[in-house]
Structure 1
């Protein structure tokens, strides 16, 4: 039998059994039965867990990742969705590079203190405006 119990899936994938159970509750993975008290999975779960890990690393939420699988369990990731996420990452990279450059400047600035450094003041204004947040804009409170 090629089925994998949850301990073997955890060992091979590096994903803790508790996370696998959580993913099962969220509908991201499905066990195919049990051997005693242990869940059994098709070996293809390893690829699915890798896809989930890749999606998480790219910044997709678990709900977004769940929508990227067809009812038969096969991936169905729209290219437009991938392009939008790549564009979002480009924006995040630009903000992080600007932050890095500003912090390096502040560390080397000749001003007596960071608060007297014009470039550091600009970073503070951007942060205060919410333009350094992951999405690039301050969250607006609900009406």
Structure 2
């Protein structure tokens, strides 16, 4: 029996996988993530395919660090009512900030599309647009008197 090649990772699948990692709790390994993806998306990706995508790789590393921090931190103990209230307030603030940042990101993506289209109309290439900025000369300016 031959294995069939899985569907390519598209932006929607990557967004779903990153969302899964954002809400992940408990032990995290590539194998556990692959199993969760297979259950949710009905597609089995390899660790290498997932690790090759920057958004997934960064989300995995951040989630791994978050889980490690939680498992070794003060959150493993019981929280008092005051601590729980403070934690809920912080969570609510972070959720509101997340909504705002998503809206800002969407606006920036729309602006990028506009810029890309206008650059295309002017005949500017991707290579030209990605040219690094010139270095700043921080030497002391010498003034010459005439």
Please tell me whether Structure 1 or Structure 2 has the larger radius of gyration of its CA atoms.
2
TM-score (norm 2): 0.29
Structure with greater proportional strand content: 1
Structure with greater proportional helix content: 2
Report which structure shows greater RCO (CA 8 Å, sep ≥6): 2
